[in-house]
Amino acid sequence: MTRIIKIFDTTLRDGEQSPGASMNVEEKLQVAKQLGRLGVDIIEAGFAISSAGDFEAIKRIGSEVEGPIICSLARAKEADIKRAWEALKDAPKKRIHTFHSTSDIHLKHQFRVSREEAIRISAEMVRLANGFVDDVEFSPMDATRTDLNYLLDVIDAVVEAGAKTVNIPDTVGYTMPEEFGRVIKAIKERIKDKAVISAHCHNDLGLAVANSLSAVLNGAGQVECTINGIGERAGNCSMEEVVMALRTRRDFYNADTNINTKEITRSSRLITKITGIPVQPNKAIVGANAFAHEAGIHQDGLLKEKTTYEIISPESIGLISAKLVLGKHSGRHAFKARLKELGYDLTQEEMESAFEKFKHLADQKKDIYDEDIETLVSEEISRIPEVYSLIDLTISGGINVKPSARLKLKVDDHIVEKEEHGDGPVDATYKAIAFITQTKSNLLKFEVKSITGGTDALGEVTVSLEEDGKTVRGHGADTDIIVASAKAYINALNKLSYIKKAKK
């Protein structure tokens, strides 16, 4: 009988710890709703005590996202656990995930407590969490560098205290698949079915997925992972890779998940769009080349029988050709119906704003594809209060004429104009924006890509700005790549302004 492995998605917590990948509340809510459609079992929505934004995100996700268990991380501290409960209390299904380090290197140099003290604190905090929720998960941080006998003693204590899930983190990506498998097997033999064993693997040595699958082979019933494998340092176990490995080799693992794999591609693209972190072309499952075949012998085989060189069908992960659905003569009802088919549930205000953008786009390009619509809607949903907004932009220049940009910007309630010259039209535009906004930020990265094909394609620009140690990503989309560039820069400046106001 096939075992069902629970998928614990930590994209919104561990994944968000990727440098520059922080999300605002609306973006987190958008991702959480997609994770619900994807069918993950548990969403780790954030770390409630870490910030007001994380607290609000957990609270809203718990109230607005149906299906998955909603979880908050909490250190093995009373204040953390109480704050997690405050964020989760309105969620129909909730979990508190608490943790304490167990490796000697952490206990000695970071926590400066004895092994005995660490066990006592861990058990006490699990009991405290159990007083608020009936679903508590405990993680012995840096478990894979912890003495195994001591690790088993810690697990015994927290299970006795009421932990229903014991997560084994390879916090620094240190372990090997065979080694990790032995650890999981020893824990399974020790606690039997008293608690679910979970695996949380980091990818520092490129083994996060392999280690997680080894854990499944040896008795783990839950895998902690992120969309596209994002996360701090080299990232986390990639959700799409571990899920498709189990689905494709169900005969070997005798295990599967509840994931709706047809939502994998959309989930991957959403994370890329919101975080600005691109997927490498040759990445398994969701990379641009994952289903591309160039070798003649491969192409010949595929034409005769797809299974000769494809072990996964593109359709099984939701990878289908973009199709024309709407045009300039389409009305609100058709637009709203297509949004519903794509999985979006917008407020009336968001719908009206997105529809106006759609009509504007339809006047500029002949064919409107799903990817175009998703880009417009993502911009609308993740919108934050605008201090700066683009009113008009005029570019001039030529081979022998230094490019210039005349920019009209709304700053709060005032309209400001400025003309600047630059090495190119984008450079001139950015100089004009920088002058008007008096920004002290530094431009770290500038990326351009086409959303769909053709010379009238919607172009998407992503920029990274850094100011006072805080990095943000801005996004802009338009058929005019210079306008898209201006929108991206202004979006990033609005995010920086929002962050500054939130700190006050």
Separation between Cα atoms, residue 434 and residue 496, nearest integer Å: 13
Q: Residue 208: count other Cβ atoms within 10 Å of its Cβ.
A: 30
Residue 280: inside a domain: no
Q: What is the mean pLDDT of the chain?
A: 90
pLDDT recorded at residue 504 = 58
Separation between Cα atoms, residue 408 and residue 405, nearest integer Å: 10
Q: Are residues 457 and 372 in the same domain?
A: no
Residue 284: inside a domain: no
pLDDT recorded at residue 297 = 59
Query: Which residue range(s) make up the domain with 341?
Result: 324-381
Q: Are residues 155 and 64 in the same domain?
A: yes
Q: Are residues 222 and 301 in the same domain?
A: no
How many separate domains does the chain show? Answer: 4
Query: Tokens representing 399?
Result: 């081979």
pLDDT > 80? residue 20: no
pLDDT > 90? residue 16: no
Q: Report the amino acid identity of residue 178.
A: E
Residue 35: inside a domain: yes
Residue 53: inside a domain: yes
Render pLDDT for 415-449 as a digit per residue (tens, 0 to 9).
999 999 999 999 999 999 999 999 989 999 898 88
Note the pTM of the prediction, 2 decimals. Answer: 0.81
The candidate with the shortest Cα–Cα distance to 487, out of 392, 368, 395, is: 392
Q: Are residues 449 and 425 in the same domain?
A: yes
pLDDT recorded at residue 3 = 97
Residue 281: inside a domain: no
Q: Report the amino acid identity of residue 422.
A: G
Render pLDDT for 234-276 as a digit per residue (tens, 0 to 9).
999 999 999 999 999 999 999 999 999 999 999 998 998 888 8
Q: What average pLDDT does range 324-333 have in this prediction?
A: 72
Q: What average pLDDT does range 187-210 have in this prediction?
A: 98
Q: Are residues 162 and 239 in the same domain?
A: yes
pLDDT recorded at residue 296 = 62
pLDDT > 70? residue 502: no
Cβ pair 171, 144 in contact under 8 A: yes
pLDDT > 90? residue 318: no
Residue 184: inside a domain: yes
Q: Are residues 356 and 495 in the same domain?
A: no
Residue 61: inside a domain: yes
Which of 245, 275, 305 is the last residue before a domain boundary? Answer: 275
pLDDT > 70? residue 371: yes
pLDDT recorded at residue 346 = 80
Domain of 164, CATH number, reads 3.20.20.70
Cβ pair 43, 12 in contact under 8 A: yes
First to last CA, the chain: 56
User: Is residue 4 within a helix (H) or strand (E), and if so which, with residue range?
Assistant: strand 3-4
Residue 283: inside a domain: no
Q: Are residues 202 and 249 in the same domain?
A: yes
Task: Choose from 22-26, 122-126, 361-365, 366-370 the range with maximum mean pLDDT.
Answer: 122-126
Q: Are residues 123 and 265 in the same domain?
A: yes
